[in-house]
Amino acid sequence: MVPFKVKFSPGQSIFDQVVFAAIKSILAGELKAGEPFPSVRTLALDLKIHPNTAHKVVQHLGEQGWLVVQPKMGTVVAQPPKARAADRKRVLEHDVEKLVVDAIRVGASVTEVKQAVESAFIDLRGLKAIANE
Amino acid sequence: MIIETNHVAKRFGRFEAIEDLSLRVPEGSVFALIGPNGTGKTTTIRMLMNILRPDRGDITVLGTPSRQLAPKDFERIGYVSEGQKLPEGLTLAQYFDFLRTLYPSWDASLEKEMCAQFELPPSRKLKHLSHGMRMKTLLVGALAFRPKLLVLDEPLSGLDTLVRDEVVNGLLQQAADTTILISSHELTEIETFTTHVAFMQNGRLLIQEAIETLQQRFRAVSVTLSAVKALPDPLPADWLLPQIEGHRLRFITSNFEGDQQVYQQLTQHFGAVKMECEPMALRAIANALMQQRKRNLQR
């Protein structure tokens, strides 16, 4: 069984959505380091995605350091890779700017955006607390 | 290309069933041929399988012109359609014994595995199978020889959700090694694993494209205008179905390259605006294209 949920939304690539869901569940602590990651076959059948897409997802997560292949265990979740300074900069500057531009365009205020960001943080942390119990 | 057709046309009496159809099915794709009932999907597939002869145009399947497709070629092509004739008096086991002799590449262990997975009763006669079991039997028969190309004409219609799920799983297990052409009047069940899609309407192809690029370039745009103004004339070529009413404007862009680009296009004509670009489900894209085509025909 695939230990995370993907609710596919239109207009985004299936690959991106599955990768995002996997990373989110690792960061939220639902999938812990050392736990087995679902096989390509399981991913494809459970999420109803093309096996080639499932293969690409596993390969990509491996390349990015989210998964490692362990002898006899197969593919397992790695310790979350250390963030590079460049990634941090990209998120805090470019991605935030993009969020702000979008927010202005749809008429959301600073307070609304702050609240939304905070509650997203809390949601993810909350998942971690539940998963650790 | 696994399948290629060029300017194919077919008429039945006075009825023009297919007009100017040029399909490209790339290797390794799961290619969905989508359109309402009676739009020419089955006719298209029958021409691909050399059951019908096109009036005009040419078709190649696995590199062979369709009119020259011989039994040898069909050892690499699996074909499943709803109305397929079966030797009804045979039991399932006898039927598979028979198929095994026809295909040199028949994989008996895959046959066993799928029969078990589908819970098919080996001693039952084909004429006593339910519709769902019949479709599953056809699918085993088409997959067990590991074809290079699998052609499925409406494999899911008339099946209940549980059986659909089983059939989809059966397909997914083979999808990595096979090119699959699947026709359907709806996308829902197959949308997540389809790689390419073609929409047909009234015997014509509206569009065929990789799903990734299709989803990238279509957006539903809703705009609030600061000043009431008429639509630009001429309309930008990539706008579909524009609707304007007071301060509200809605349209679909078929050439989306980012919010910024749409925003600039809008402000140039309308001045200050507030806008949102929403990604669209394939069904919504298909509907938009069909409606736009109707509008164009009315003009």
Residues A20, A48 within the same domain:
yes
B285 lies in some domain: no
B297 lies in some domain: no
Instruction: Enter the pTM of the model.
Output: 0.83
Residues of chain B contacting A5 with CB distance shorter than 8 Å: none
Mean pLDDT, to the nearest integer, of A47-70? 92
Residues B133, B247 within the same domain:
no
For residue B287, give how far its alpha carbon lies from the nearest alpha carbon of chain A (Å): 14
A18 lies in some domain: yes
B176 lies in some domain: yes
Residue A131 pLDDT more than 70?
A: no
Residue B293 pLDDT more than 80?
A: yes
Residue A56 pLDDT more than 90?
A: yes
How far is B266 from B60, CA to CA, in rounded Å?
Answer: 45
Q: Report residue B174's pLDDT band, with 50, 70 and 90 as the boundaries.
A: confident
Task: Say which amino acid occupies A113.
Answer: V
Q: Report residue A128's pLDDT band, with 50, 70 and 90 as the boundaries.
A: low
Look at A106 and B192 and tell me if their CB atoms are within 8 Å.
no
A52 lies in some domain: yes
Tally of structural domains, chain A: 2
Per the structure, the complete domain to which residue A97 belongs is given by: 85-132
A5 lies in some domain: no
Look at A11 and B219 and tell me if their CB atoms are within 8 Å.
yes
Residue B41 pLDDT more than 90?
A: yes
Among the candidates A53, A77, A101, a domain finishes at: A77
Mean pLDDT, to the nearest integer, of B239-250? 92
For residue B166, give how far its alpha carbon lies from the nearest alpha carbon of chain A (Å): 10
A100 lies in some domain: yes
- DSSP H or E segment with residue B79: strand B77-81
Residue B63 pLDDT more than 60?
A: yes
Residues A127, A92 within the same domain:
yes
How far is B70 from B245, CA to CA, in rounded Å?
Answer: 59
Residues A67, A30 within the same domain:
yes
User: B32 — contact with chain A (CB < 8 Å)?
Assistant: no
Residues B121 and B75: beta-carbon distance below 8 Å: no
CATH number at residue A54: 1.10.10.10
User: B258 — contact with chain A (CB < 8 Å)?
Assistant: no
User: A7 — contact with chain B (CB < 8 Å)?
Assistant: no
Residues B155, B175 within the same domain:
yes
User: B176 — contact with chain A (CB < 8 Å)?
Assistant: yes
A124 lies in some domain: yes
CB atoms within 10 A of CB B253: 20
Place of tokens 């004429």: B127
Among the candidates A77, A97, A119, a domain finishes at: A77
Among the candidates B147, B179, B209, a domain finishes at: B209
Residue A129 pLDDT more than 70?
A: no
CB atoms within 10 A of CB B299: 4
For residue B198, give Cα distances in angstroms to A56, B6, B40, B85: 24, 15, 12, 28
Look at A105 and B275 and tell me if their CB atoms are within 8 Å.
yes
CA-nearest of B147, B139, B179 to B3 is B179
Q: How far apart are the first and last CA of chain A?
A: 21
How far is B286 from B206, CA to CA, in rounded Å?
Answer: 9
Residues B121, B159 within the same domain:
yes
Give helix A40-47 / helix A51-63 axis angle, nearest 10°.
130
Give helix A110-132 / helix A96-105 axis angle, nearest 10°.
130
According to the model, what pLDDT value does residue A28 have?
82
**Structural tokens at position A71:** 């002898």
How far is B185 from B115, CA to CA, in rounded Å?
Answer: 27
Q: Report residue A89's pLDDT band, with 50, 70 and 90 as the boundaries.
A: confident
B152 lies in some domain: yes
Residue A94 pLDDT more than 90?
A: no
B287 lies in some domain: no
Per the structure, the complete domain to which residue B263 belongs is given by: 219-279
* Beta-carbon pairs below 8 A across chains A and B: 65
Mean pLDDT rounded to a whole number for chain B = 92
Residue B239 pLDDT more than 80?
A: yes
| Sheet with B219-225, side-by-side order of all strands | B239-245, B248-253, B219-225, B273-279
Tally of structural domains, chain B: 2
Among the candidates A54, A77, A100, a domain finishes at: A77
Rank A34-38, A44-48, A81-85, B63-67 by mean pLDDT and report only the highest: B63-67
Out of A10, A45, A55, whose CB is closest to B279?
A10
Look at B193 and A11 and tell me if their CB atoms are within 8 Å.
no
B289 lies in some domain: no
User: A9 — contact with chain B (CB < 8 Å)?
Assistant: yes
A20 lies in some domain: yes
Residues A32, A72 within the same domain:
yes
For residue B61, give Cα distances in angstroms to A64, A119, B64, B181: 40, 55, 5, 12
Residues B195, B248 within the same domain:
no
Mean pLDDT, to the nearest integer, of B93-111? 95
Q: Report residue B252's pLDDT band, with 50, 70 and 90 as the boundaries.
A: very high
Backbone phi and psi for residue B209, each to the nearest 5 degrees, phi listed first: -170, 160
Per cent of chain B over pLDDT 90 is 66
User: A1 — contact with chain B (CB < 8 Å)?
Assistant: no
CATH number at residue B28: 3.40.50.300
Per cent of chain A over pLDDT 90 is 38
Residues of chain B contacting A51 with CB distance shorter than 8 Å: 172-173, 175-176
User: B219 — contact with chain A (CB < 8 Å)?
Assistant: yes
Residues B95, B201 within the same domain:
yes
Residue A124 pLDDT more than 60?
A: yes
User: A93 — contact with chain B (CB < 8 Å)?
Assistant: no
Among the candidates B151, B179, B209, a domain finishes at: B209
Find the range with the poorest average confidence among A81-85, A97-101, B117-121, B147-151: A81-85
According to the model, what pLDDT value does residue B82 have?
81
Residues 33-92 on A with a CB inside 8 Å of B are: 41, 44-45, 47-53, 55
Out of B215, B274, B282, whose CB is closest to A13?
B215
How far is B156 from B142, CA to CA, in rounded Å?
Answer: 15
Mean pLDDT, to the nearest integer, of B213-219? 91
How far is B65 from B43, CA to CA, in rounded Å?
Answer: 17
A4 lies in some domain: no
Residues A48, A97 within the same domain:
no
CA-nearest of B217, B241, B222, B253 to B293 is B241
Residues B219 and B276: beta-carbon distance below 8 Å: no
Residues B180 and B170: beta-carbon distance below 8 Å: no
User: B263 — contact with chain A (CB < 8 Å)?
Assistant: yes
Q: Report residue A127's pLDDT band, with 50, 70 and 90 as the boundaries.
A: low
Residues of chain A contacting B192 with CB distance shorter than 8 Å: 8, 14, 47-49
Mean pLDDT rounded to a whole number for chain A = 86
Residues B199, B255 within the same domain:
no
Quote the distance between the C-alpha of residue A63 and its chain's center. 15
Residues 112-141 on B with a CB inside 8 Å of A are: none
Mean pLDDT, to the nearest integer, of B113-125? 94
Mean pLDDT, to the nearest integer, of A53-66? 94
Residues A72, A18 within the same domain:
yes
Among the candidates B147, B182, B209, a domain finishes at: B209
Residues A19, A73 within the same domain:
yes
How far is A98 from B100, CA to CA, in rounded Å?
Answer: 59
Bigger pLDDT: A122 vs A19? A19
